[in-house]
Amino acid sequence: MRELPNPTFALSPVSLPRGSLHPAQPNSAVDFLPRRAKSAIEVTWAKHQDEVREAQRLRFDIFGTEMGARLSSHLPGHDIDLFDDFCEHLLVRETATGMVVGTYRVLTPAQAKRAGSTYSDTEFDLTRLRDMRNRMVELGRSCVHAEHRQGGVIMALWGALFEFMDRNQLDVMIGCASIPMLHNGLVSGDAAASIWRQLRETHLAPIQHHVRPRLPLPVEELNAHLDIEPPALIKGYLRLGAKVLGAPAWDPDFNTADLPMLMRTADLPARYRKHFKSAV
């Protein structure tokens, strides 16, 4: 087991190991059993390289095997990219088996400076968000095991994320929310174009926060009038108060249309704030 190298966090002493933004008490994990969860779960932050590898294997299984993404990695069976070493990795485990069934990675402002950018910067021009950089966390690589997509795992992840933001006095989260290009058995951007049409009418951020895709999905050439709902994860973000920052980008490696999204902790509805606080 190899301890992760000491990152330079602006919010904590550099002598602390990876995970130093997180309390190390024995009961610091989040344990609760949502009504529809199949088994008890706990949320922890990866503190060793082998724990990060567990998250990367889950990501490969879902993104590579299940979704057919083209993943280039030096370690077979793992989804690894250049941002992983700069990120905190949030893990949800089955209590009984210890198996990782859900994960997020979190890039803090200090670590984004060390990395040179966020992942979202590679897909979008984020110039209009420059005033938020010093308090902006990027969320990415969210995935949940197929047998645990009933809601409990993602709620546990969100609870830990909002606790993290509150404890470290950060108030903005950004990320790319993916829409699969496969719809009704066919590879097409029509579903993404239709979802974008709906959300720009109801959940578009103010113009001063709009961003531009570097590789735009050609929405003007697609059928944007399908009667289709956004993916569950995007609907969840919207319920938490998130806004869409602009038109989708096309990610050819993952074969998805990615919507840029921003969420402020101040916009979290009271019912979710109460639920998350009761879970930690």
pLDDT digits (tens, 9 = 90+) for 110-168: 999 999 999 999 999 999 999 999 999 999 999 999 888 877 888 889 999 999 999 99
Angle CA(36)–CA(37)–CA(41) in degrees, nearest 5? 155
Helix%, strand%, coil% for the chain, nearest 5: 35, 25, 40
Q: What is the mean pLDDT of residues 58-65?
A: 92
Whether 34 is in a domain gets the answer yes
Whether 4 is in a domain gets the answer no
pLDDT at site 32: 33
Neighbours of 14 (CB within 10 A): 10
- 154 neighbors 236 (Cβ within 8 angstroms): yes
Distance CA 276, CA 172 (A): 17
Whether 64 is in a domain gets the answer yes
Whether 20 is in a domain gets the answer no
Q: Could you list the residue range(s) of the whole structural domain that residue 68 is in? A: 30-279
pLDDT at site 280: 55
Radius of gyration of the CA atoms of the chain, in A = 18
Whether 13 is in a domain gets the answer no
Question: Model confidence at 274, in pLDDT bands (50, 70, 90)?
Answer: confident
Encode pLDDT of 89-116 as tens digits: 999 999 999 999 999 999 999 999 999 9
Tell me: pLDDT of 20 over 50.
Answer: no
Which of these, 195, 265, 205, lies nearest to 233 by C-alpha position?
A: 195
Neighbours of 42 (CB within 10 A): 15
State CA 152 to chain mean position distance.
Answer: 16
Distance CA 256, CA 141 (A): 13
Encode pLDDT of 170-212 as tens digits: 999 999 999 988 766 667 899 999 999 999 999 999 999 999 9
Q: What is the mean pLDDT of residues 50-70?
A: 91
DSSP state of 249: E
Highest mean pLDDT among 27-41, 45-59, 177-191: 45-59
CATH of the domain at 246: 3.40.630.30
Distance CA 118, CA 111 (A): 9
Tally of domains within the chain: 1
Whether 192 is in a domain gets the answer yes
Distance CA 28, CA 24 (A): 6
Tell me: pLDDT of 46 over 70.
Answer: yes
- 88 neighbors 18 (Cβ within 8 angstroms): yes
State whether residue 96 is helix, strand or coil.
coil
C-alpha distances out from residue 68 to 56, 232, 257, Å: 15, 19, 14
pLDDT at site 19: 40
Whether 269 is in a domain gets the answer yes
Q: What is the pTM of this model?
A: 0.84
Please identify which residue in the block is written with the tokens 């806004």. 243
Whether 41 is in a domain gets the answer yes
pLDDT at site 54: 97
Which of these, 202, 166, 181, 203, lies nearest to 256 by C-alpha position?
A: 181
Tell me: pLDDT of 14 over 50.
Answer: no
